[in-house]
Amino acid sequence: MAKLQSVRGTHDILPDEMPRYRNVFDAVAEIGTTYGYGEIATPIFEFTEVFKRTLGDTSDVVSKEMYTFNDRGGEGLTLRPEGTAGVARAVMSAGLLQSVPLKYFYRGPMFRYERPQKGRMRQFHQIGVELLGVAEPAGDIEVITLGADLLDRLGVMGDTVLEINTIGDMDSRNAYRDALVAYLEAHIDQLSDDSRERLHRNPLRVLDSKDAGDRAVVADAPRFDDYLTPHAADFFATVLAGLDRLGIGYRRNPFLVRGLDYYCHTTFEFVTGRLGSQGTVLAGGRYDGLIGQMGGAETPGVGWAAGVERLSMLAEPRSVAPRAVALVPLGDAAEAEALVLARSLRRAGVVVDLGYGGNLKKRMKRADKIGAARAVIFGDDELARGVAQVKDLDEGGQTEVALADLVDRLAVRRG
């Protein structure tokens, strides 16, 4: 029989690694809450149409990367490849759009079929925020600042650079699209096959192509700034002025775009050089047309998402889990007392390990293996006198403590 193992592109998060993930999950809850964002959790699978409407039939995610299947009732379902569409569907389903602004953060697994590499898995985890119902530049400033504060809380802000751009309003996009297509058509023989295929379907995606030939062509392409309407230019200037006022540094990246029509105005990414080619750790932008495209009332929106795997590789856990106290009961009476004592200690917040059997040597060996800070040793003699021996496993000293005082003593020492 073949050895069972995890599916390619998935990863078991074992206890020694979990604190890094929990650190990121806790950080978005902590920072999001201070900004007045509430947590939302949507199902990990949706009707496939939710993502086709939002990501587009011809996008790489829909055409190549989604995990889509029919359930036993014949319904087309898809494991969520990203979080924004599910949040938008949820607020529409719950009839919440009349209560804007709506402010949410989320955290959980996503699924995409792509080539696994460092920081990129087929089942991965994201955190994200969504701000719905705010059309003003203040919304863009807020979510970018929230992202910066999150990265600062994780201790990685100094290792990242905020790249930012504008893709303007719809009039700006239409004018620029025409100019870009005309330019690219004049250089079509120099474009990659992927970019030729995108030329009329989604020409903005050519701008962020990683192909060397495409990048050489794009270097001399028209600039979006030359096609911005006065409103779009003022909008972006206000966003940048807000970031300046808050002391959040940034770098303009004219090739930072979003190809789908519901995106507009600000696009941004926090990038790092510490993760090789997978340098984006947090990315977002404004998507005023999304909910309208999904069939809801026209509702402005702006938000971002960040990969937990990448952030967990960059950030150190904020705190180390408290070390355990190992109970070492010797004899049947002590074993029975240990059950009661363990529960009392745990209720007081003390991490307790119960060795489940064996002699003194075996139990002490286990205490050493799990890195326990102290061992509480007691047998028939100690029970008769109402005491236990508390051994400091770092320094080796041993103290006799009354059983009645044990919970208070260990809880205080733990703190």
Claim to verify: residue 136 and residue 57 sit in the same structural domain = yes
Q: How many domains, the chain?
A: 2
pLDDT the model gives residue 2: 64
Of 314, 343, 373, which residue sits at a domain end? Answer: 314
The CATH number assigned to the domain holding 134 equals 3.30.930.10
Contact 333, 403 (CB under 8 A): no
Claim to verify: residue 156 and residue 296 sit in the same structural domain = yes
Claim to verify: residue 233 and residue 335 sit in the same structural domain = no
pLDDT the model gives residue 266: 97
Q: Which amino acid is at 121?
A: M
pLDDT the model gives residue 190: 87
Claim to verify: residue 51 and residue 153 sit in the same structural domain = yes
Claim to verify: residue 297 and residue 366 sit in the same structural domain = no
pLDDT the model gives residue 60: 63
Claim to verify: residue 347 and residue 297 sit in the same structural domain = no
Greatest Cα pair distance in the chain: 94
> Does residue 75 sit within a domain?
yes
The pTM for the full model equals 0.87
Claim to verify: residue 139 and residue 235 sit in the same structural domain = yes
Domain extent at residue 369: 325-414
Claim to verify: residue 67 and residue 150 sit in the same structural domain = yes
As averages over each run of 10 residues, the pLDDT of the chain (415 residues) reads 83 91 96 98 95 70 81 94 95 95 97 80 95 98 98 94 95 89 88 83 81 87 91 97 97 86 92 81 95 93 96 82 92 95 94 90 93 95 96 94 93 54
The string of DSSP letters for 324-345 reads: PEEEEE-SHHHHHHHHHHHHHH
